[in-house]
Amino acid sequence: MRPLPNIPATALARRVIRRLRELGHEALLAGGCVRDLLLGREPKDYDVATSALPDAVEAAFARTVAVGKQFGVIRVLDENLPEIAIEVATFRHDGPYLDGRHPSSVAFTSAPEDAARRDFTVNALFLDPETSEVHDYVGGLADLKRRVIRAVGIPRARFEEDKLRLLRAVRFAAGLGFDIADETLEAVTAMAPQVCQCSGERIRDELARLLTAKGASRGLRLMLQTGLLDAILPEVAAMHGVRQPPEFHPEGDVLVHTMLALDMMDQPASLTLALAVLLHDVGKPPTFDDSGDRIRFHGHDKLGAQMAGEILLRLRFPGEVIARVASLVQDHLKFINVPKMSTATLKRFLRKEHFDEDLALHRLDCQASHGKLDTWCFARDKLAEFARQPQALRPPLPLDGNDLKALGLPPGPVYRELLTALEDEVLEGRVANREQALAFVKGRAGLRG
Ligand code: ATP
Ligand code: MG
């Protein structure tokens, strides 16, 4: 094993372990961080497992938060490093799972029993950071070497306890580039529909991690193979086998295109972009039309945006995420028209909030199909050009509602119409000052009688 990374989180985890040991407790690094350290990856966060009971953990440190005291989990913070937290969990043994989601009780026990309640062998290792000794009670080291995700114990029984593990198996296999052991894969496939017994929130969090990590497309393929995709995202599963016109999509069907685009995302991927990539063509299966000169998907952008909204709401994503993804899906075809747009329309499009993600989605959409990037380059270059001109995208208007009132126009919806038309003129560069603006507005209002 390589030496532990020399970062503040590692140092804090070591200090926590040393302190617990001074007090006579057993304490070890546990779970995902051990797996990642042994693979030479930098852990996302550090978990410590200990024989100390939660009260003793709280008493041992100045700053703690009882994040899950009933499960024995106490978060330890450092005064000087407020952004880092170490989760310290008492070794525990889970009582029977009666609802397929939570243990009915937990009992505090020893490291071997704590390993046995964990989901996969590679997630059930303990590491002594002082000696680098690994405590392996479930064959996790061998599976790390073989690069295999294997349930601890009897797969069906373990998935029966907590159905989220079905999706976690795929998430870890995809993210780590591991295979799933035969018996574990069989159980995932047999039990896939039951994943829906988990709350939307738990599925959402696993899905978000799967989609934003490297290996997302493999995750999607494994979900398709096992039936998890049908259970969680039937609208995405429906993209499988949906033919596309080969001149625009030489890569294959709609799902193949989507998976290629996911693979081409820059890492670390933004969640909203990843969701938009996943769902940008979700409107294609229901709009498939093979009756004309070529296959068409008329209105798939609009329908797709609506479907994306419904899917993400079902998965309990926050409103902000839903709105942004739906808008990305809705606008993903606009780029085709970018070279033909009037300057005003183009500027309005380019100044859209988070436009960088619209641009990124379009690039991925092109790269994962015909490969031509002319419309992407055009939009990117225009954006750069306008960025060099002060206020080109949001020029201040030379007039406002008060000026219209002063002209004697009765207030009403016509104000917004006039000001929008005026903004068009300003964006086009045809109106540059107050005098020209007044002339334009008077002419326009006069025409309306
Ligand atoms: P990541 O780096 O993606 O966070 P991780 O292994 O740390 O991976 P977490 O979801 O943070 O995954 O969980 C931490 C550890 O807790 C796991 O490694 C595993 O040992 C255990 N664990 C988490 N969720 C479950 C579960 N549903 N069933 C059994 N064990 C679990
Ligand atoms: Mg973790």
**pLDDT tens digit string along 167-204?**
999 999 999 999 999 999 999 999 999 999 999 999 99
In a domain, 392, yes or no: no
Distance CA 216, CA 206 (A): 12
* Listed residues 106, 123, 143: the one ending a domain: 143
Average pLDDT over residues 127-147: 97
| Total structural domains within the chain | 4
Q: Are 28 and 86 in contact (CB under 8 A)?
A: no
| Mutation test residue for ligand 1: of 113, 119, 212, the one with most atoms within 8 Å of CB | 119
Q: Is residue 87 lining ligand 1, measured as CB closer than 6 Å?
A: no
Assigned token pair, 341: 């747009």
Tokens found for residue 66: 């009882």
Joined together, the tokens standing for residue 15 give 């200090």
Q: What is the pLDDT of residue 447?
A: 46
What pLDDT, on the 0 to 100 scale, is given for residue 158?
A: 97
Last residue of a domain, one of 184, 202, 232: 232
Instruction: Quote the ligand 2 centre to 32 CA distance (angstroms).
Output: 5
Q: Which residues of 330-361 are buried (b: 16+ CB within 10 A; e: fewer)?
A: bbbbbbeebeebeebbbbbbbebeeeebbbbb
Residue 18: pLDDT over 80:
yes
Q: Residue 75 domain-assigned?
A: yes
166 and 117 in a common domain = no
- Same domain (yes/no): 158, 104: no
Q: For CA atoms 8, 14, 18, 24, give the dihedral sign.
A: positive
Radius of gyration of the chain (CA): 28
Residues 193 and 280 in one domain: no
Same domain, 253 and 304: yes
User: From CA 140, how far away is CA 156, in angstroms rounded?
Assistant: 19
The tens digit of pLDDT for each residue in 146-165 reads 999 999 999 999 999 999 99
State the pLDDT confidence band at 426, using cuts at 50, 70 and 90.
very high
Question: In this predicted structure, what is the pLDDT of residue 81?
Answer: 84
H or E element: which one contains 197?
none
pLDDT level of residue 79 (50, 70, 90 thresholds): confident
Which candidate, 342, 346, 389, 380, places its Cα nearest to that of 360?
380
- Residue finishing a domain among 353, 387, 421: 387
What string of DSSP letters covers 349-362? HHTSTTHHHHHHHH
Ligand showing the shortest atom-to-Cα distance for residue 33: 1
The conformation of residue 244, written as its DSSP 8-state character, comes to -
| Helix 200-212 × helix 216-226 angle, to 10° | 130
Report which residue type is found at 215.
G
The verdict on the CB of residue 165 being under 6 Å from ligand 1 is: yes
Residues 155 and 166 in one domain: yes
Give backbone dihedrals phi and psi of 414, rounded to 5 degrees, phi first: -60, -25
Residue 438 domain boundaries: 401-447
Q: Which segment of 8-12, 185-189, 259-263 scores lowest on mean pLDDT?
A: 8-12
Tell me the pLDDT of the chain averaged across its residues: 95
* Closest to 194 (Cα-Cα) out of 213, 169, 152, 166: 166
347 CA distance to ligand 2 middle (Å): 43
Q: Would residue 396 count as lying in a domain? A: no
- pLDDT of res. 183: 98
Cα-based distances in Å from 448 to 295, 376, 387, 409, 414: 44, 40, 36, 11, 10
Is 225 contained in some domain? yes
User: What are the pLDDT digits (tens) for 322-353?
Assistant: 999 999 999 999 999 999 999 999 999 999 99
Q: Across residues 109-130, what is the average pLDDT?
A: 97
- Is the confidence at residue 219, as pLDDT, over 80? yes
Amino acid of residue 9: A
186 and 280, same domain (yes or no): no
**Can you count the helices (H) and strands (E) in the chain?**
23, 11
AA letter at 38: L
Which ligand has the shortest distance to the CA of 208?
Answer: 1
Q: How many CB atoms lie within 10 A of CB 235?
A: 17
Q: Counting beta carbons within 10 angstroms of the beta carbon of residue 429, is it exposed (0 to 12), middle (13 to 18) or buried (19 or more)?
A: exposed
Residues forming beta bridges with residue 30, ordered by sequence position: 47, 126
Give the per-residue pLDDT at 82: 81
The pLDDT-based confidence of 80 (bands split at 50, 70, 90) is confident
In a domain, 219, yes or no: yes
Residues 411 and 302 in one domain: no
pLDDT of 86 above 90: yes
Domain co-membership, 244 together with 226:
no
Give, using CA atoms, the residue closest to atom 6 of ligand 1. 32
228 and 239 belong to one structural domain = no
Pocket-testing residue among 38, 39, 101, 118, ligand 1, by greatest number of atoms within 8 A of Cβ = 118
Q: Residue 103 in 3-state DSSP? A: strand
C-beta of 103 in contact with ligand 1 (< 6 A): no
Q: For residue 7, what is the DSSP state?
A: S
Of the candidates 73, 3, 1, 8, the one whose C-alpha atom is nearest the C-alpha of residue 45 is: 8
Instruction: Write down the pLDDT at residue 68.
Output: 87
Task: Indicate the range of 74-83, 265-274, 337-346 predicted with least confidence.
Answer: 74-83
Place of tokens 């000001």: 419
> Any idea what the CATH number is for the domain that residue 240 is in?
1.10.3210
Instruction: Compare 320 and 95 and report the one with higher pLDDT.
Output: 320
408 and 357 within one domain: no
Average pLDDT over residues 300-319: 98
pLDDT band of residue 449 (cuts 50, 70, 90) is: very low
Flag whether 172 is in a domain.
yes
Mean pLDDT, residues 32-38 taken together: 96
**Which CATH number does the domain housing residue 188 bear?**
1.10.110.30
Say if residue 94's pLDDT is above 80.
yes
Cis peptide before 54 (omega within 30 of 0): no
| Ligand 1 pocket: which of 123, 144, 212 to mutate (most atoms within 8 A of CB) | 123
Question: What is the distance between the alpha carbons of residues 208 and 442, in angstroms, rounded to a whole number?
Answer: 53
Residues 374 and 296 in one domain: yes
- With beta carbons less than 8 A apart as the criterion, state whether 282 and 234 touch: no
Look up the pTM and report it. 0.94
Segment 391-399 mean pLDDT? 94
Of 334, 211, 214, whose CA–CA distance to 275 is shortest?
A: 211
**Are residues 179 and 79 both part of a single domain?**
no
- Does residue 425 lie in a domain region? yes
Ligand 1 centre distance from Cα of residue 296 (Å)? 44
286 found inside a domain: yes
CATH number of the domain that 1 lies in?
3.30.460.10
The CB of 119 under 6 Å from ligand 1? The reply is yes
- Would you tell me the crossing angle of helices 164-176 and 182-191 to the nearest 10 degrees? 130
